[in-house]
Every structure is written in structure tokens, then in C-alpha cells.
């Protein structure tokens, strides 16, 4: 199955029309928010990283919160709904077995988080502390998550080797938890992930469904 959901935040930022100074501030913010966390990053550090004065930075963004919003709101309000819809459609149209779906799901989503790891780290950190943001993300994901769950349930029902107690929501939770664990461990230890490791993760999830 070909990957349909390629998105790179850095490329998107370079292609989006905006003043160059504003782009440099966003790039600096993404780097520092991912490295240090939002709370530990000062506006002075962002201005220094961007190579400009505090006054110039505040010309584009009135506050650090405005900077954070400029980074994650386009992802939540525009990119997540579109990318998730495309992903759900691909699963629905091309998955012929539960193993096929698991392989595509893990490889495709891991490619996404690796390509956008700074953005993912920032979003994960904010989701842990901001309940309103969590609710917003859930609301944006909900329609397409239901479609993904329907495809999962259909394929589970057609595979006699899968243990009867597995439900679509269980499989989705298993895939998400394994992806998140792999991502956090490797980023914390500054390790790279290769195709062999991704294939091991796919096999682990596939085998977990069998008694």
C-alpha cells in the first residue's frame, strides 16, 4: 500500500506565504519548544535563536502564547482533519486484511511523526497540560476515528485467527500506545528508527491479536 499522507511541517512552513522574519521566529520557536518545552522557553531565547531583537519579534507576535498558537492551531484546525480524512479513506479503500491494515497504519503514522517530530513533541506536551486543547483535538479527530474503527472492526471479523475478545477500539489503542512508546523512547535517547525496527513493531502488534 502506498503512503498517501505525507506531510512535513518544515516544508509547509517554507511554502506558506509570510514575511521572512515571521518565518524565522516560528522556526526558532519550534526548535526551542521541542528542546526545552514551552514553559522553559523565554521570548528572549526565541529572539536570539531567530537572530533578531525582542522588539522585532513582538512586531509579529504579541506574546509567547500567540507564537504557540501559530504553530499548533494550523495543525489542529486544518491539517489534522484533512490528513486524518485522507488516512481513513486509504484504509477503507485499500486494506484487505487486518495484518495489511496494521502494517500500513504503523508504517504510515511512524513516518509522519518522524518527519514532524518537533511538532509532535510540542503538541504532546501541550495536550498533557491543556484540557481545552485535548477537547479540540478529539473533536477534530472524532468523525474520521469512527470511520477507522469501522474498517478495523470489519477486518477483525473476517480473520478467524484473531482472538474473539479483540475489539476495534482495543486494536487502535494498542497501535497508538506502541507507536507512542517507540517514538518517545527513541527521541529521549536520541536514537534513529530504521525499517527493520518498524517491521518488528508491526509484527509485535500482529502477533498480539492471535491467541
Mean pLDDT calculated for residue range 16-39 = 94
Q: Region 34-40: what's the mean pLDDT?
A: 93
Q: What is the pLDDT of the chain when averaged over all its residues?
A: 89
106 confidence band (pLDDT: 50, 70, 90)? very high
Q: Name the residue ranges covered by the structural domains of the chain.
A: 9-208
Segments in the chain forming alpha helices (H): 9-15, 20-36, 43-50, 54-60, 64-74, 80-94, 98-115, 117-129, 131-157, 168-188, 195-208
pLDDT digits (tens, 9 = 90+) for 140-184: 888 889 999 999 999 999 999 999 999 999 999 999 999 988 888
The residue-averaged pLDDT of 45-57 equals: 94
DSSP class of residue 162 equals S
The angle subtended at Cα 119 by Cα 114 and Cα 122, nearest 5°, is: 120
Q: What is the pLDDT of residue 6?
A: 65
Q: How many C-beta atoms surround the C-beta of residue 12 within 10 A?
A: 14
Mean pLDDT computed over 22-46: 95
Would you say residue 4 has pLDDT above 70? Answer: no
Mean pLDDT, residues 112-140: 90
- Residue 30 in contact with residue 64, Cβ under 8 Å? no
Residues 15-32, mean pLDDT to the nearest whole number: 94
Q: 1 pLDDT exceeds 50? A: no
Is pLDDT of 42 > 60?
yes
9-208 falls under which CATH superfamily?
Answer: Tetracycline Repressor, domain 2 (1.10.357.10)
Amino acid at each position: 500500500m502506498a503512503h498517501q499522507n505525507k506531510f512535513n511541517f518544515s516544508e509547509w512552513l517554507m511554502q506558506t506565504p509570510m514575511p521572512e522574519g515571521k518565518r524565522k521566529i516560528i522556526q526558532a520557536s519550534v526548535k526551542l519548544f521541542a528542546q526545552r518545552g514551552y514553559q522553559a522557553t523565554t521570548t528572549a531565547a526565541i529572539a536570539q535563536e531567530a537572530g533578531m531583537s525582542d522588539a522585532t519579534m513582538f512586531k509579529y507576535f504579541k506574546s509567547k502564547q500567540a507564537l504557540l498558537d501559530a504553530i499548533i492551531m494550523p495543525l489542529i484546525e486544518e491539517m489534522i482533519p484533512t490528513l486524518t480524512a485522507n488516512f481513513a479513506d486509504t484504509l477503507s479503500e485499500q486494506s484487505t486484511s487486518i495484518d495489511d491494515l496494521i502494517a500500513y497504519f504503523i508504517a504510515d503514522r511512524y513516518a509522519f511523526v518522524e518527519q514532524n517530530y518537533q511538532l509532535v513533541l510540542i503538541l504532546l506536551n501541550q495536550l498533557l497540560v491543556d484540557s481545552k486543547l485535548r477537547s479540540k483535538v478529539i473533536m477534530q479527530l472524532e468523525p474520521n476515528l469512527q470511520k477507522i474503527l469501522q474498517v478495523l472492526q470489519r477486518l477483525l471479523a473476517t480473520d478467524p485467527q484473531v482472538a474473539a475478545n479483540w475489539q476495534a477500539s482495543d486494536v487502535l489503542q494498542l497501535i497508538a500506545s506502541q507507536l507512542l512508546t517507540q517514538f518517545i523512547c527513541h527521541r529521549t535517547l536520541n536514537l534513529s528508527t530504521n525499517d527493520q525496527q518498524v517491521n518488528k513493531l508491526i509484527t509485535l502488534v500482529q502477533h498480539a491479536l492471535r491467541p
